[in-house]
Amino acid sequence: NNPPWPSYRGYHNFSFAHATMSVRLPTILGKAIDDVVKTLNDEHDEERIVDLTECISRLEDLLDDLQGNSVLRPIIDDGEGDIPLWNKAIARYFRGKHFMDAPWVFAEAYKYRRLHEAFSLSKYWKDYDVFFRQKCETFARSSDAVFELSTRFAEPLKQAEGASAEELLEAKRLQFHELTQICLWGNSTDLSLLINMTEEDIKKLQSTGGDHLAATEKNILGNDMSKIWDYISSDKFSSKEKGGRLDFVLDNAGFELYTDFVYADWLLQSGLCSEIRFHGKRFAWFVSDVTRKDFNWLLNSMVYGHLFPNASDEELASLKKLGLRWKQYVKEGKIIYEEHQFWVSGFSFWALAEEAPDLFVHLAGSDLVIFKGDLNHRKLTYDCQAPPSTPFNVAIGPLATLAGAPPIVSLRTIKSDIVVGVPAEKAEQLDRDEPGWRISGAYAVVLLSDGRKG
């Protein structure tokens, strides 16, 4: 059940795997330790302090293991549900492997599980998230794009009066194209890559105006958006009586989650969807991925927060209005937040049906599953050295071919080596003329697999 191409590994100097394993991950871990020290310095209770110093020692051990290229040891049983998944993978597939010679995607995920272990073994700090501060601060620094969207979308959607059915459908199609792109480019703000981001950098990444989107559409190198619209607007997806069910396998918290909500809001209001499920992570993952706490934090800060001291009353009111509407969706069960331990395992999604059959059956009940972001794309495609012209449904293996596989879309800004669903000549030209294009986040893919719902 493996693709025929070799996985990327940390020792591959030619790939981003090498820079990540040897430089980025130690930097991220060093910053994580700084965050815990900050918390430690603010703590007054002795028992909690001692407990936290033990977490810091475990983090320092992890940093030593990473920098010393140690063998990947089993995860210590902290009683959490994902332990069997992790230790089975280590025993069966990666025994004796080190940080640098294990498949990159596995070794990198393992680092985040070890980071969690440093806290899950404690008494008082089990759910501590070393990236929480950073996630909140970045959202607070995203004011331009946040208000650009809230002032535009706070008012409920209105249908143009007197328009024919055809005109209405065409208007919906155009909005779909725009909102899919807003959701896609929301993925550019990924904290693991942008460790030292300035306000200007954030603004550039988050620009959501119409002209900007038209200009960036040419950067979508494999673009199935029209096919997705054909499916989503057909009666295979939804009927007149009932909209479809859409699942989002989320990526990053803060601004990206905000754009996911903007998209979900439009899909619900337009009647295309009646139920949307958001799948998040159970603990801090790849720096900025969404946890339940991030999900709640976003909605509550939109309604009650004081994050934007320079905003106008009108801007703040629009943000609050949106936040209240989204909270109402959650109350009514139109938007449902979920977590499954498979999403925080080291397995690629080629193994999803085998290792998490309950999750496969659950997703098989969906009318469309959208995977957001780079890491989800790496896991969908096994993070291997597949040729760029590999069709998406070939690259995702069993998730396209198994009976019951739902239609799948990957909305991904390209931030790592693997590229599929892109014409060979285009990838060759960029490899030649624009070194670094595979990690810049300036290019994207929007790819669809039809699935086999039968």
Closest of 298, 222, 286, 312 to residue 260, by C-alpha: 298
Q: Which residue in this structure is represented by tokens 């200009």?
A: 215
C-beta of 260 vs 367, nearer to Mg ion: 260
Q: Give the burial string for 417-447 (b: 16+ CB within 10 Å, else e).
A: bbbbbbeeeebeebeeeeeebbbebebbbbb
Residue 433 CB, shortest distance to ligand F6P, in Å, is 22
CA distance 311 to 301: 14
Tokens at 6, concatenated:
């070799």
Integer Rg of the chain from CA:
22
Looking at the DSSP assignment, which residues form a beta bridge with residue 248? Answer: 278, 370
| Residues 264-293: x where in contact with ligand F6P by CB under 6 A, - otherwise, as a string | ----------------------x-------
Out of 135, 378, 379, 438, the residue judged to bind ligand F6P by CB under 6 A: 378
Q: Which does 20 bind (CB under 5 to 8 A by kind): Mg ion, ligand F6P, none?
A: ligand F6P
- The string of DSSP letters for 262-274 reads HHHHHHHHTTSEE
C-beta of 216 vs 252, nearer to ligand F6P: 252
Region of 104-112, 123-131, 260-268, 279-287 interacting with Mg ion (CB under 5 A): 279-287
Q: Please report whether residue 224 would count as binding ligand F6P according to CB under 6 A.
A: no
Total residues binding ligand F6P (CB under 6 A):
15
C-beta of 190 vs 247, nearer to ligand F6P: 190
Q: Give the burial string for 240-262 (b: 16+ CB within 10 Å, else e).
A: eeebbbbbbbbbbbbbbbbbbbb
Contacts with 297 (C-beta within 8 Å, 6 or more apart), sequence order: 136, 253
Q: Please report whether residue 294 would count as binding ligand F6P according to CB under 6 A.
A: no
Q: Please report whether residue 375 would count as binding ligand F6P according to CB under 6 A.
A: yes
Strand order in the sheet with 244-249: 220-223, 444-449, 408-413, 368-372, 244-249, 273-280, 335-339
CA distance 178 to 166: 19
Residues 410-429 that bind ligand F6P (CB under 6 A): 415-416
Residues 235-274 that bind Mg ion (CB under 5 A): 251-252
Residue 224 CB, shortest distance to ligand F6P, in Å, is 19
Residue 67 CB, shortest distance to Mg ion, in Å, is 23
C-beta of 3 vs 373, nearer to ligand F6P: 373
Burial of 161 (0-12, 13-18, 19+ CB in 10 A): exposed
CA-angle at 13, arms to 12 and 16, nearest 5°: 85
C-beta of 258 vs 286, nearer to Mg ion: 286
CA distance 175 to 156: 14
Contact 384, 5 (CB under 8 A): yes
Q: Please report whether residue 289 would count as binding Mg ion according to CB under 5 A.
A: yes
How many CB atoms are located within 10 Å of the residue 43 CB? 14
How many CB atoms are located within 10 Å of the residue 127 CB? 16
Residue 115 CB, shortest distance to ligand F6P, in Å, is 14
Q: Please report whether residue 294 would count as binding Mg ion according to CB under 5 A.
A: no
Residues 19-38 that bind ligand F6P (CB under 6 A): 20
| Residues 184-223: x where in contact with ligand F6P by CB under 6 A, - otherwise, as a string | ---x--x-xx------------------------------
Contact 266, 334 (CB under 8 A): no
Residue 112 CB, shortest distance to ligand F6P, in Å, is 10
| Residues 132-171: x where in contact with ligand F6P by CB under 6 A, - otherwise, as a string | ----------------------------------------
C-beta of 376 vs 393, nearer to Mg ion: 376
Out of 286, 342, 371, 392, the residue judged to bind Mg ion by CB under 5 A: 286
C-beta of 277 vs 415, nearer to ligand F6P: 415
Tokens at 145, concatenated:
């794009």
Total residues binding Mg ion (CB under 5 A):
4
C-beta of 224 vs 417, nearer to ligand F6P: 417
Q: Which residues bind ligand F6P (CB under 6 A)?
A: 20, 108, 187, 190, 192-193, 251-252, 286, 373-375, 378, 415-416
Interface residue list for Mg ion (CB under 5 A): 251-252, 286, 289
